[in-house]
Amino acid sequence: MKMTIRWFGKLDSIPLSFIKQIPGVSGVVTSLMDIPVGEVWEMDQVQKLGEVCKGANLECEVIESVNIHEDIKLGLPNRDKYIENYAETMKNLHNIGIKVICYNFMPVLDWARSTLFYDLPDSSSTMYFDNDVVMNITLDELAAMYRKESYRYEMPGWEPERMKKVNETIAQYGGMTEEKYWENIKYFLDAIIPFAEKYDIKMAIHPDDPPWPIFGLPRLITCRNNIRRFLDLNKSPYNGITLCTGSLGANSANDIPALVKEFSKEGRIHFAHIRNLKFESEKSFYESAHYEKAGSLPIFDIVEAFYDAGFDGYIRPDHGRMIWGEINRAGYGLYDRALGSQYLLGIWNALERLKK
Ligand SMILES: [Mn+2]
């Protein structure tokens, strides 16, 4: 297992030297957020990214994300061009030693929350998902809330470029069925996985967050059966998943330790996002501290399942709260994620001592 921290490149206010000071962290998970979706990540840009990380003595082996152009998701005739670009980006990423690409296939939008900074009683703040709010809000209203609350940090999945034409994009999904969407994802996999094999890059799809339909759009990567169906679309071990405990865990019917056991044993989990969440009602929750007793997810059992499976992929603490007066990109402050990484490493360390 390698413990990593997500870093937003030049859009991140956290210096790599600070990340390097977190014990046990081997590298960063990063991206080139300023390249428009669908365009090739050119070799000089990619090389610079790798050099900056290595210059800080941090490994750069996981990219999150290389986003998928909407034409691929929609299955439009233009998709082959964007798939070609994607493969070209993979070649360049291979040249700097990238081992895993995390991506998602969520239509139009990425993750959604109803509040980015929800005040907790201890005067920390955290992201909140209130299903009643999200089900009754328009996309424009939600996007406006993000713009207002985000302190002008660019939020992954809510990039201004994406939001500019969001209503237009949503309209393109009129009549998109789940079955058609499954076909589109298979088309993408069958085209890309041979390149993943050639360049030795594991593709790791991120589950949909939340794992149920919002704004009338289909959601596929939501539960055990759908993950199984996804993995069976292309059986190469290079076609795998990012196991995100917070995304899948938002549906309490998902047994996360069981998912880790099943898919990790098959070598299909390449990357893990571990975070905790605290349910306030069936579909409403806030993102709590990683510490198991602070939230509702069985964090110890999840880490143990990874340990028992001999997991040798990458883990990162996922979103953290804002604590100690930090002002930063929602979910991606330094302090609480550093605490989270130490909690997860502490569990791992204890398992090593007790089970060896
Ligand atoms: Mn995640």
Q: What is the pLDDT of residues 238-250, one digit of tens each?
A: 999 999 999 999 9
**Cα 100 to middle of ligand 1, angstroms:** 15
pLDDT tops 90 at residue 163: no
**Cα 206 to middle of ligand 1, angstroms:** 7
**Cα 276 to middle of ligand 1, angstroms:** 11
CA–CA distance, 91 with 104 (Å, rounded to integer): 19
As a whole number, mean pLDDT of residues 135-154 equals 80
**Cα 120 to middle of ligand 1, angstroms:** 22
Number of domains in the chain: 1
pLDDT tops 90 at residue 172: no
Residue 286 domain boundaries: 2-355
CATH of the domain at 138: 3.20.20.150
Three-class secondary structure assignment of 41-83:
CCHHHHHHHHHHHHHCCCEEEEEECCCCCHHHHHCCCCHHHHH
One-letter amino acid for residue 18 of the chain = F
**Cα 356 to middle of ligand 1, angstroms:** 30
The phi and psi torsions of 316 (rounded to 5 degrees) equal -135, 145
Taking residue 216's Cβ as centre, other Cβ atoms within 10 Å add up to: 10
pLDDT tops 80 at residue 88: yes
Kindly report each contact of residues 121-124 with a partner whose C-beta sits within 8 Å and lies 24 or more positions away, as own/partner: 124/321, 124/322, 124/323, 124/336
**Cα 156 to middle of ligand 1, angstroms:** 11
**Cα 251 to middle of ligand 1, angstroms:** 14
Among 78-82, 135-139, 319-323, the range scoring the smallest mean pLDDT is: 135-139
User: What residues does 6 pair with on adjacent strands?
Assistant: 29
Give the chain's end-to-end CA distance (angstroms, integer): 16
**Cα 299 to middle of ligand 1, angstroms:** 15
Mean pLDDT of the chain: 93
**Cα 224 to middle of ligand 1, angstroms:** 16
**Cα 349 to middle of ligand 1, angstroms:** 23
**Cα 209 to middle of ligand 1, angstroms:** 8
pLDDT value of position 264: 95
pLDDT value of position 213: 83
**Cα 11 to middle of ligand 1, angstroms:** 19
The gap from C-alpha 253 to its chain's centroid, in whole angstroms, comes to: 21
**Cα 104 to middle of ligand 1, angstroms:** 10
pLDDT value of position 148: 80
Q: What is the pLDDT of residues 185-217, one digit of tens each?
A: 999 999 999 999 999 999 999 999 889 888 888
* Residue that wins the pLDDT comparison between 198 and 140: 198
User: What residues does 126 pair with on adjacent strands?
Assistant: 118
**Cα 316 to middle of ligand 1, angstroms:** 9
pLDDT value of position 173: 87
| pLDDT tier at 350, thresholds 50, 70, 90 | very high
Quick one: what percent of the chain has pLDDT higher than 70?
Answer: 99
Q: Which residues surround ligand 1, an ion (CB under 5 A)?
A: 244, 273, 318
